[in-house]
């Protein structure tokens, strides 16, 4: 006969289960509430109320269970299958590990970095024959090295913000306890080393300097030592993000393809200048907007972001206006293009993005943290879309 065993602080309760598949049992105890629905083939444990109820046919019997503070409840079902570690699927650990690393890597920043490198690399292409194996190898070398450095920067930021993230981003693996502090240190150290190793063996000075400057600014932004941790100061924090996202990414990775891969003279054509200017606006917006959902934790731990100083609503609309100005400038740049196809694509593309941004902003509930966080990810989607348009600017 199948039975249910409940162990509550060394107190065991044995409840028989009917063999009829239609019968069910609901169990709950103390602060930890569980319900167990038993059938012939499966049992499902779900949260329920704090009493034990047997449903047998049309009769209901309720038994009040002993409740004690800090009760530890262990429920196990004795059936044909043995209970113990052998029932745990060892393959579940790999998906969990991948999921934790996925969240640790902050994938929206990784995608943005990869797209930006591909986009600015295409600006160095002058003719069809430039799409050579050397070009694709050069792009992949830059992406891999930048990916490793990106993990270092976002990982170091999480190491420095564990307590803040417990309030603002409790789903991150360091804040949730999935990663220990030691694990985080090992990961960021390993990825920093691998980034510089790739940059060194490639032998491209523009690539190496891009990694080195990103390393310095990323470290100064996050690490909590005297005279550093620049994220505490709103203006300096914004300048760090602009320097990396707008200047280094555009110029250094373009020069990596232009000078190292193609062996041409260093020069900055109109599309590169446009990309640098436009992404300066966009990087300022990212630097400002990323703090809007995090206002609670920043206030608690003394991070004087613009959102803490000015308020969520005001910073939100400053970001929207900055992006709309950038889209307006992009439309003017497109209108000045001597190529008809580039003119139409640039103008139409940026008009659509500007209208989409405005419509989404008007419908966003600024009192809802989930809505603000969703809008922040929407800004990153606009960021991705812009890098699809930049190679078409001529």
Distance CA 271, CA 123 (A): 7
Residues 80, 348 contacting (CB under 8 angstroms): no
61 DSSP β-pair partners? 54
pTM over 0.75, yes/no: no
Q: What is the dihedral of CA 122, 128, 130, 131, to 10 degrees?
A: 70
In the prediction, which pLDDT does 7 show?
Answer: 38
Distance CA 112, CA 282 (A): 12
In the prediction, which pLDDT does 216 show?
Answer: 96
The CA R_g of the chain, rounded to the nearest whole Å, is 28
CA-CA-CA-CA torsion sign (331, 121, 102, 106)? negative
Distance CA 294, CA 167 (A): 8
Residues 236, 217 contacting (CB under 8 angstroms): no
Residues of the chain where predicted confidence (pLDDT) is lower than 50? 1-88, 90-91
φ/ψ region of 391 (left if φ > 0, alpha if ψ in -120 to 50, else beta) reads alpha
In the prediction, which pLDDT does 92 show?
Answer: 59
Between the two ends of the chain, the Cα-to-Cα distance in Å is: 79
Residues 177, 158 contacting (CB under 8 angstroms): no
In the prediction, which pLDDT does 254 show?
Answer: 96
**Of the candidates 206, 208, 230, 204, the residue with the CA atom closest to the CA atom of residue 219:** 230
Distance CA 217, CA 295 (A): 23
In the prediction, which pLDDT does 88 show?
Answer: 42
Neighbours of 240 (CB within 10 A): 22
In the prediction, which pLDDT does 162 show?
Answer: 93
Neighbours of 296 (CB within 10 A): 13
Distance CA 155, CA 163 (A): 14
Q: What is the H or E stretch that residue 53 is in?
A: strand 52-56
Distance CA 171, CA 177 (A): 9
Distance CA 132, CA 206 (A): 20
In the prediction, which pLDDT does 70 show?
Answer: 37
């Amino acid at each position: 006969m199948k039975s249910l065993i409940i162990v509550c602080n060394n107190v065991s309760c044995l409840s028989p289960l009917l063999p009829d598949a239609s019968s069910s049992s609901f169990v709950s105890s103390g602060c930890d509430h569980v319900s167990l629905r038993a059938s012939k083939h499966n049992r499902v444990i779900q949260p329920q109320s704090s009493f034990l109820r047997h449903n047998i046919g049309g009769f209901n019997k309720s038994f009040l269970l002993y409740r004690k503070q800090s009760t530890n409840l262990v429920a196990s079902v004795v059936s044909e299958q043995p209970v113990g570690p052998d029932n745990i699927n060892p393959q579940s650990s790999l998906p969990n590990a991948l999921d934790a690393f996925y969240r640790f890597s902050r994938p929206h920043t990784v995608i943005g970095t990869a797209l930006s490198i591909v986009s600015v690399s295409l600006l160095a292409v002058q003719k069809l024959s430039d799409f050579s194996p050397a070009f694709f190898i050069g792009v992949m070398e830059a992406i891999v090295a930048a990916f490793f450095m990106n993990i270092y920067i976002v990982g170091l930021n999480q190491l420095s913000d564990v307590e803040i993230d417990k309030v603002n981003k409790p789903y991150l693996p360091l804040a949730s306890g999935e990663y220990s502090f030691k694990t985080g240190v090992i990961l960021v150290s390993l990825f920093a080393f691998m980034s510089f190793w790739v940059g060194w063996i490639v032998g491209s000075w523009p690539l190496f300097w891009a990694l080195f400057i990103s390393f310095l600014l990323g470290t100064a932004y996050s690490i909590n030592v005297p005279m550093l941790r620049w994220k505490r100061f709103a203006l300096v924090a914004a300048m760090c993000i602009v320097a990396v996202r707008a200047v280094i990414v555009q110029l250094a990775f373009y020069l990596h393809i232009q000078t190292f891969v193609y062996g041409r003279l260093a020069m900055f054509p109109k599309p590169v200048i446009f990309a640098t200017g436009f992404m300066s606006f966009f990087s300022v917006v990212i630097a400002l907007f990323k703090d809007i959902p995090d206002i609670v934790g920043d206030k608690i731990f003394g991070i004087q972001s613009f959102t803490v100083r000015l308020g969520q609503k005001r910073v939100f609309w400053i970001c929207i206006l900055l992006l709309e100005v950038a889209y307006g400038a992009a439309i003017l740049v497109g209108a000045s293009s001597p190529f008809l196809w580039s003119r139409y694509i640039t103008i139409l593309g940026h008009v659509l993005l500007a209208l989409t941004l405005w419509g989404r902003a008007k419908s966003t509930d600024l009192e809802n943290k989930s809505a603000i966080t969703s809008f922040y990810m929407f800004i990153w989607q606009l960021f991705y879309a812009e890098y699809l348009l930049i190679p078409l600017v001529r």
